Amino acid sequence: MRDSNFDLVVIGAGPGGYHAAIRGAQLGLKTAVVEKDDGSGIGGLGGVCLNWGCIPSKSLLKNAELVHQLKNAESWGLSFDNFHADIGKAVDRSRKVSASLTQGIGFLMRKNKIELVRGKGTLKSSTVVEVGGETPLTAGNIVIATGARPRSLPNLEIDGDTVITSREALDLRHKPEAIGIVGASAIGVEFAYYFNAYGVKVMLFEALPRLVPKEDEEVSMELERAFRKQGIKFATSAAVEGVDLSGDRAAINFKAGGEQQRFECDKVLLGVGVQPNSDGMALEAQGIAVNHGFIEVDSRMRTNVPGVYAVGDVTGKMPLAHVAFTQGAIAAETIAGHETFEIEDYSDMPRCTYCVPQIASIGLTEAEAKERGVNVKIGKFPFRGAGKAIAVGEYEGFVKVVADADTGEVVGTHMIGPEVTELVAEVGMLRLLEGTNVELGALTHAHPTLSEAVKEAGLAVTNEAIHA
């Protein structure tokens, strides 16, 4: 008979949930994880991230990057006869990658003696979780980590066939001739790059005035330039009014530049945000505060009900897997009475976009810093000035450091270019330690590396960059 009494019960085994469970077990808490998997792919160990999100999408983007490079093979001294890129095999590879990692999460559950309970968890009280018709689980503490799912727009209802989400896009083994992508934040621009690399006609639609509108404005401008060069079309300040599905192909009706326009395609991909998986959880019955379905938490992931915590996308804080990782660990450490960090400002969380050129940022944009009254001073360095970038043939983009001119503190860094999603960690540590551009510039960086561009951008704040 299954044990039903635990120190910690986690509902959801996605990034936030499994981190909370493993960290709790490490700290001596008797832990159980409740995970539903209805066969839709929204669920399972590792959650959306490992199954139908971060991991398989990055696998496909690597394939796209290789295809993109091989289109210019002659510049590398390579030649091919009858070169063919099979998008179906790329999808197959991504599924193998995903499977290997979800199996790894299962191993970690067993290693840490965490009880895995299959089914949908519902709160019966602040200490009881009901799972189907099984014996309820009693817990000293509960962590809700049920995640979120893509949302439709009033005039664009997801049908999973023609109007799709990233979930269906990740499993398209036959490439469409043309695709319209609504929303030009991370998901939108990543899929735009992916499909374009395989020869699909791509059109991006963004309601705001620029691509990746939450990034620094100069980053947006650089991405737009790169996408034009790659042949990716886009419309900004565009109002998508609906999709006509009456013909042989879908037709997106939109207004941009003061004109009514129409784009015909085979698939329409929505990348316009998420809605929380909090419905059916009986949260209101337990008095748990929510805001449009997202669970409200404090800096230690505590809800307003003692003993109940929430982590990950269901909190609505920042729908990124690594944010959920940190939230999960903080919740478990708080429950165990262990010293922990708190999240006071989510702008200190790194944001990464994996199209080519890649985008990575942390802290405040130049505009945000000025709005907060910071006496801003900028240091900027192009990858074209970094020897390693030239050597590997990837020199689009730049590193931009936003510093407080009065103190030198680096309040934000924004990068677009080769492997910047790896380079951002250095600036993250600098932010954690409240470092300055002087320290960033003083640190010796190995040569030749792409990271030298970060050092040079730090030096550029005070006009001391060597290679600028």
Where the chain has pLDDT below 50, the residues are: 1
Strand ranges in 302-409 using DSSP code E only, listed in sequence order: 308-310, 351-353, 358-363, 376-382, 398-404
What is the enclosing helix (H) or strand (E) of 131?
Answer: strand 128-131
Report the pLDDT value the prediction gives residue 80, as an integer from 0 to 100.
84
pLDDT of 461 reads 97
- What does the DSSP assignment read for 152-182? -BTTB---SSSEE-HHHHTT--S--SEEEEE
User: So what's the pLDDT on residue 38?
Assistant: 59
Identify the pLDDT of residue 41: 52
318/311 Cα distance (integer angstroms) = 10
Residue 302 carries which DSSP code?
A: B
d(CA 461, CA 374): 15
pLDDT of residue 132: 82
Count of CA atoms in the C-beta half-sphere (13 A) of 344: 3
Q: Are 36 and 170 in contact (CB under 8 A)?
A: no
Residue 247's pLDDT is: 85
The whole-angstrom separation of Cα 125 and Cα 283 is 9
State the sign of the Cα–Cα–Cα–Cα dihedral 214, 212, 365, 343. positive
Closest CA to 167 of 302, 274, 31: 274
Catalytic residues: 447
Distance in angstroms (rounded) separating the CA atoms of residues 364 and 299:
19
Task: Tell me the H-state helices in 178-320.
Answer: 186-197, 217-230
Q: Give pLDDT, residue 2.
A: 65
Task: Put residue 59 in one of left, alpha, beta given phi > 0 → left and psi -120 to 50 → alpha.
Answer: alpha
